[in-house]
Amino acid sequence: MKKKPKMKFKLIMLTLILSLMVTPFSALAAETSQPWMNKSLSAKERANLLLEKMTLEEKVSFVTGNLNNFYGFYNEGLERLGIPALTMADGPAGVRIANPDIQDKKSTALPAPIALAATWDEKAAKTYGELIGNEAFNTTHNVVLGPGLDIARFPWGERNFESLGEDQLLQSKLAVPYVNGIQSYPVMATAKHFLLNNQETERFTINSVASERAIQEVYARPFADVIQKADLSSVMCSFNEVNGTSACENETLLSDILKKQIGFEGFVMSDYGANYTTAESANAGLDLETPGAPNGHWEEKLLKAVKEGQVSEKQIDDMVSRVLTEMFSKGLFDQPVQNNLIPAEEHGEVAREIAEQSMVLMKNEKNALPLDKDALDSIAVIGPDADNASAAGGGSSLVIPTYTVSPLEGIKNYAGEDTKVTYAPGSDPISAGDILPGPSAVPSSLLSPGGNGKESGLKGEYWTNLHFEGEPYLTRTDNQVNFNLGFYNYDGLNAQSPKLPKTPGEFNREMSARWTGAIAAPETGEYVLSLSSLGTGKLYLDGKLLIDNESKKLVTDQKTVSLEKGEKHQVRIEYSTGEAGDAQDFGAMIRFGWEPPKDAIDQKMQEAVNLAKKSDVAVVVTHTYDSEGYVDNNSLDLPNNQAQLIEKVSEANPNTIVVQMSGRAVQMDWQDDVPAIVQAWFAGQEQGNAIANVLFGEVNPSGKLPITFPVDELNTPVSDEIQFPGVEGISEYSEGVFTGYKGYEKEGIKPAFAFGHGLSYTTFDYKNVKAKAKTKGKNKDTEITVDLNVRNTGDVTGSEVVQVYAGKLPAKVDTPAKQLAGFKKVELKPGKQQRVKITLDAKAFSYWDEKSDQWVMPSGKVPIYVGSSSEDIRLVGSVHIR
């Protein structure tokens, strides 16, 4: 990426010289009437000069978001004093443009942040941030709502894809260059969501209860680092409660921890609609209410609170001054935002390179990978969305890409003319409905709307009222009954396949719908039929009521029925969301599901199996739908029977490679059935080329897991109901500081794939480790370093992420048996060796002492583990801390 095109620079210089020659007087005048425009003053001085000129009304208005502005993403500026508006764009996976007048809302869709985390590469994080800063500035934005620094606490977290993984140090190490990258442009970065915002289920109300130690050592840690090491401008407080008080009115969090203890000088903004109070939030340390009207709680209400003495004017001045100081210091006054066309290909290349680095080779038996295109005549590409390039997470981070390359296209392009690449979906496309819990949706090929078996799916009739009254507003054929509307169906938030019809926004609130047609089983046997729904859902089979759901919570009920192969049964499903104020807040949620007998497979899957059988290699591209919203599905099963698809395809062709597109962990009971697995995450708009380059060995994979993949949802350190979804609205962070891999180790739970795991097409040898601790500088800070030799012992160039873990500390409190203390990515040519030096994180050798409210580094011997993953430890040493 060219950072600053020379042409533009020359143009700016010319304009500057001309303006100095032509208008020296008016420039001077502007400076005198607006003395804060004097660049020789400090940001703080400039902010103070400006603050003096603002009336109380202006100050209050300035810190209050206003929905009347462009698409709800702007906080108004102040024309009278020349204060630019805060023009915000969601991150953290690229720049989400809300204004349709700006470049058709298109920008570069980067690999999801979880993929960036899998690179374990600080340089990649810097490039990622720079690209976001560049595109934000050049698409008229001066605030980016990213990075997302929520720890991936649960393997099933629906927003894990927006996070930088489960470890605080990995997050910090990547977040610092990421923020520096964004802020190398006149753009302010926003770290979110402060704090303990780790689940989507009950996300607006959940009370996250955690110890001071867990907050300090784990959850607040990445925020502290971007504040102290990257001069972060802004922090976004979250919707949930933290230890009983809403995050945006939580004085302990915002004033005591963030501002006083961590020393944050920037400003705190609320998540959109997360400010629930007036004086409480203002006094607790919230500095800016984002557009939340008509439910906003500031503006006139805040003005009144000041006039009545509930909030001091000093407090308001502090809020305004924090925002203004950041605006001056990051250049928002001196370099107004621009609208310049994004260089799609050049930036696409950056997205591809990061995607390539993020791919994790989970397994590779008998060198199944890389594929040798000269030795292959045919490749079957299989998977519901392998032909669809929009694999990204849904919700506020969804970016409309400048162009896309699907895995199928990428593989076809790479394979060239001489290798026949064919495609079969194997199942119906993945949609937002797949987030709902319960058995997979009944495949479309079992269903027929007219009952004649010619067309697949069911006839869907939709009403915008609750009781099927009048003529349906919409009638169409739906391939499956698998819907998750409301938030998940808003324009620009839904990441589902273009192969699926869009449901009009009219159905996002109250609605009713009826689906009718027939179902015919692919084999004779016992079938589980299920209905997952929120509101009222009724399933009739041959006119008889089989399932009757009525609930203000999402529920699944199921019945087992015997079905004869090919015999048609009438199906009718009647659904109503329920009235406004209860289920309607979530929008429609309904799925008609099934569990087939072991060997019954539907027609789409059979076609994929047939294709695999006659091909040299089968590449199965799996897909999950992950999104911000209202639910986390704590089943780790692949949706739409994709696990069965892998089993059946691999039975038909032992050369089956699985490429997994998911933003979180999935259950892989099928891992022994296939020789190779690549975790490809949501790899952004260039995903197809990146996947092909890894599969064919153009790129040697070097990604490492930033999250643990458990065997299943029951075998994790957070599988207790009090942790997820919580009991009576409270989620207890009872695992304390033992998050992620630290908890698996403590509980003795063996994961399917460990944190830090990732293979290469070459092998590495680790030797001669030396660990040292010495005191340095005036403050006598302890510097702990590890040196070792790493050699590439294979035949191809490759990169290895050398990981160093600190062992149990000689402390009075319980500390992890292994905690990431440092890492380094090294590239080595075949046979080459390098002495690698890694400086370790002092905090991995310290704990937060709740009694004295400070970090304590206990003295004594600490074991040091050096390895290729948290489980694959190659060398052991120790250091003496004095």
The residues that are catalytic are 271
Q: Which two tokens stand for residue 394?
A: 């849904």
Rule CB under 6 A: say whether 271 interacts with ligand BGC: yes
In angstroms, what is the minimal distance from the CB of 65 to ligand BGC? 11
Contact between residue 619 and residue 412 where contact means Cβ atoms under 8 Å apart: no
In angstroms, what is the minimal distance from the CB of 162 to ligand BGC? 8
Q: Which two tokens stand for residue 122?
A: 């600080």
**What are the E-state strand segments in 507-610?**
512-520, 525-541, 544-563, 568-576, 589-595
- Count CA atoms closer than 13 A to 330's CA, side-chain side: 35
Helix (H) or strand (E) holding 875: strand 873-881
Q: Is 444 helix (H, G, I), strand (E, B) or coil?
A: helix
The end-to-end CA distance of the chain, in Å, is: 46
Nearer to ligand BGC, 145 or 618 (CB): 145
Rule CB under 6 A: say whether 298 interacts with ligand BGC: no
Closest CA to 718 of 25, 118, 208, 120: 208
Cis ω before 186 (30° cut-off from 0): no
Q: How far apart are CA 221 and CA 228, in angstroms?
A: 11
Nearer to ligand BGC, 271 or 686 (CB): 271
Taking residue 543's Cβ as centre, other Cβ atoms within 10 Å add up to 8
Contact between residue 703 and residue 761 where contact means Cβ atoms under 8 Å apart: no
Q: Is 219 helix (H, G, I), strand (E, B) or coil?
A: helix
In angstroms, what is the minimal distance from the CB of 192 to ligand BGC? 5
In angstroms, what is the minimal distance from the CB of 90 to ligand BGC? 5
Contact between residue 809 and residue 858 where contact means Cβ atoms under 8 Å apart: yes
Nearer to ligand BGC, 145 or 840 (CB): 145
Contact between residue 565 and residue 463 where contact means Cβ atoms under 8 Å apart: no
Q: How far apart are CA 851 and CA 859, in angstroms?
A: 18
| Number of helices and strands in the chain (H, E) | 19, 36
In angstroms, what is the minimal distance from the CB of 95 to ligand BGC? 12
Contact between residue 113 and residue 159 where contact means Cβ atoms under 8 Å apart: no
Nearer to ligand BGC, 144 or 442 (CB): 144
**Measuring CA to CA, how many Å separate 332 from each of 177, 407, 456, 823?**
20, 40, 55, 36
Describe the chain by its helix, strand, coil percentages, rounded to 5: 30, 25, 45
- Please list the residues that pair with 191 across neighbouring strands: 235
Amino acid of residue 487: F
Give how many residues touch ligand BGC by CB under 6 A: 7
Nearer to ligand BGC, 195 or 875 (CB): 195
In angstroms, what is the minimal distance from the CB of 97 to ligand BGC? 12
Nearer to ligand BGC, 193 or 221 (CB): 193
Q: How far apart are CA 740 and CA 748, in angstroms?
A: 12
Rule CB under 6 A: say whether 86 interacts with ligand BGC: no
Nearer to ligand BGC, 93 or 381 (CB): 93
Rule CB under 6 A: say whether 272 interacts with ligand BGC: yes
Taking residue 881's Cβ as centre, other Cβ atoms within 10 Å add up to 18
- Please list the residues that pair with 881 across neighbouring strands: 860
**Torsion 542-547-549-554 (CA) sign:** negative
In angstroms, what is the minimal distance from the CB of 636 to ligand BGC? 23
Closest residue to ligand BGC in the complex (CB): 396
Nearer to ligand BGC, 146 or 816 (CB): 146
Q: Is 860 helix (H, G, I), strand (E, B) or coil?
A: strand
In angstroms, what is the minimal distance from the CB of 323 to ligand BGC? 17
Nearer to ligand BGC, 191 or 386 (CB): 191
Nearer to ligand BGC, 394 or 675 (CB): 394
Contact between residue 755 and residue 741 where contact means Cβ atoms under 8 Å apart: yes
Taking residue 392's Cβ as centre, other Cβ atoms within 10 Å add up to 30
Among 118, 143, 145, 408, which residue interacts with ligand BGC (rule: CB under 6 A)?
A: 145
Binding mask 618-657 toward ligand BGC (x if CB under 6 A, else -) reads ----------x-----------------------------
- CA-based angle 273:279:285, to the nearest 5? 75
Nearer to ligand BGC, 628 or 647 (CB): 628
Phi, psi of 478 (to 5 degrees): -105, 130
Nearer to ligand BGC, 206 or 601 (CB): 206
**Measuring CA to CA, how many Å separate 311 from each of 141, 283, 314, 364?**
31, 7, 8, 62
Give residues with Cβ within 8 angstroms of 287, minimum separation 6: 63, 267, 268, 269, 318, 319, 322, 323
Q: Which two tokens stand for residue 533?
A: 């729904």
| Residues of span 396-415 touching ligand BGC by CB under 6 A | 396
Among 74, 90, 253, 703, which residue interacts with ligand BGC (rule: CB under 6 A)?
A: 90
Nearer to ligand BGC, 98 or 666 (CB): 98
In angstroms, what is the minimal distance from the CB of 55 to ligand BGC? 29
Per DSSP, the residues of 717-781 read TT-STTTTT-BTTEEE-TTTT--THHHHHHHTPPPSB-TT--B-SS-EEEEEEEEEEEEETTTTE
Binding mask 166-195 toward ligand BGC (x if CB under 6 A, else -) reads --------------------------x---
Q: Contact residues for ligand BGC (CB under 6 A)?
A: 90, 145, 192, 271-272, 396, 628
